[in-house]
Amino acid sequence: MAATSLQNYTLVITGAPYSSQAPQTALLFARAAIAAGHTLDRVFLYGDGVHLASSLSAPPSDETHWAKEWARFLKDNAVPGVACIASALRRGLVNESEKKRYELPASNLLEPFIIAGLGEWVEGTMASSRVIYFHAGG
Amino acid sequence: MMPINTLHILNKAPDHPRTAQCKHALRPGDALLLTENAVLALSVAGGHDDPAIPVYALEPDAVARGLGRSGTETTLVDFSAMVNLTAQAQNVISW
Amino acid sequence: MSTLIVIDQSPYGTWEGREALDMTFSLAAFDQSVSLLFTGAGVNWLRKAQTTSKIEQKSVEKNISAAPIFGVKAIYADAKACVQYGLGLDNMLAGVAMAENSAELLHEHTHTAFAG
């Protein structure tokens, strides 16, 4: 293939792990993008995609742990991973400060994911040259 | 490699309503990339109706579903080539 | 940059339409050019007199009607889908433009997104 100019990507994941293939496809895409010299501005989890940032998922040991794989990738490449706060709170994904604010019994946000508003997605669309969405299939 | 106006990434099975919408939106200069369940189109005879639109299918998804053989109309690509396609296209729509 | 947010999921049965509206309003809040396209089963969001109290959900009728005030550039409905679901100007929310060929809209925007 012809040489392509380097891009800065924002990836948006809206499909949940273990009910869709979206987080897997997104991770394999993200690895390939980094390997080709592109940069990732951020990864934004929206809708059911926020389940990827749960520290409480415990798949059988012979299955890929997609949350941990994603967390490792984000750390290794210093890419911000942001879960939409409105999607997250509705679905029971909270960090320490939201736990305190809503007086919840536990927090479960996996590092290095953070929770923030849709403004993070808007900024991603403005800051990056490509925005790629990974939705649930069907 | 021809420049791509819009790259359409389709991850829905052939009978999903969004598949029909996606095909309806294809224009000359666009390209179609089948991923995940959309690669099942490789098993559907005559599924590709517009020879002017290049069609790619993600090889890992095709192989996973027992459909690893490239047809005459579809080019199998790996993730690295998928990244290239998104970099070459002016716009990308994920269906 | 101009964004088209597409809603093709019917109301209340899934959350995608609501989350697509949230995306739309966020872009508008940041003064980004954004329009909405309702297509497929998604056109049912545009029906008048949605009374949701008995399913204990909030109606989005008001949100959609307020979209222009919040800076959403245009609201389009796919004309074929409207016919399919028995929607016409008489039983639809005001301020919606019929798109005879909604696929063209995708090519008129630099960024097209679904919520899921």
- Give the H or E element holding residue A93: none
| B6 chain-C contacts, CB cut-off 8 A | 106-107
Q: What class has domain C2-114?
A: alpha beta
Per-residue confidence in pLDDT tens, chain C, 116 aa: 899 999 999 999 988 999 999 999 999 999 999 999 999 999 999 999 899 999 989 888 888 989 999 999 999 999 999 999 999 989 999 999 999 999 999 999 999 999 99
b/e map of A87-114 (b: 16 or more CB within 10 Å)? bbbebebbbeebeeeeeeeebbbbeebe
Describe the strand order of the beta sheet including A114-116 as a list of residue ranges: A114-116, A81-84, A39-45, A8-13, A130-134
What is the rounded average pLDDT of the residues A87-111? 98
User: For chain B, which domains are there?
Assistant: 4-94 (3.40.1260.10)
Is residue C47 classed exposed, middle or buried when 0-12, 13-18 and 19+ CB atoms within 10 A define those classes? middle
What pLDDT was estimated at residue C24? 97
Tell me the residues of chain A between 34 and 73 that have a Cβ less than 8 Å away from chain C: 46-48
What is the rounded average pLDDT of the residues A84-96? 98
Spell out the domain ranges in chain C. Answer: 2-114
The structure tokens listed for A122 are 């808007």
Of A25, A36, A131, the CB nearest to B36: A25
What pLDDT was estimated at residue B3? 87
Q: How far apart are CA B68 and CA C50, in angstroms?
A: 48
Above 80 in pLDDT, residue B2? no
What pLDDT was estimated at residue C62? 85
What pLDDT was estimated at residue B70? 60
List, for residues B43-78, the tens digit of each pLDDT value: 886 656 677 899 999 999 999 999 977 666 899 999
- Beta-carbon contacts of residue A14 (< 8 Å; ≥ 6 apart): A22, A45, A46, A47, A48, A49, A133, A134, A135, A136, C114, C115, C116
What pLDDT was estimated at residue B44? 82
Which residue, among B9, B16, B36, B59, would best test binding to A if mutated, counting the most A CBs under 10 Å from its CB?
B36
What pLDDT was estimated at residue B49? 65
List, for residues A30-42, the tens digit of each pLDDT value: 999 999 999 999 9
Spell out the domain ranges in chain A. Answer: 8-134
In chain C, which residues touch B (CB < 8 A)? 8, 39-41, 103, 106-107, 110-114
Length of chain A counted residue by residue: 138
Of C39, C107, C113, the CB nearest to B21: C39
Q: What class has domain A8-134?
A: alpha beta
pTM (predicted TM-score): 0.96
Does B94 lie at the interface with C, CB-CB under 8 angstroms? yes
The structure tokens listed for B72 are 């005459």
List, for residues B13-24, the tens digit of each pLDDT value: 999 999 999 999
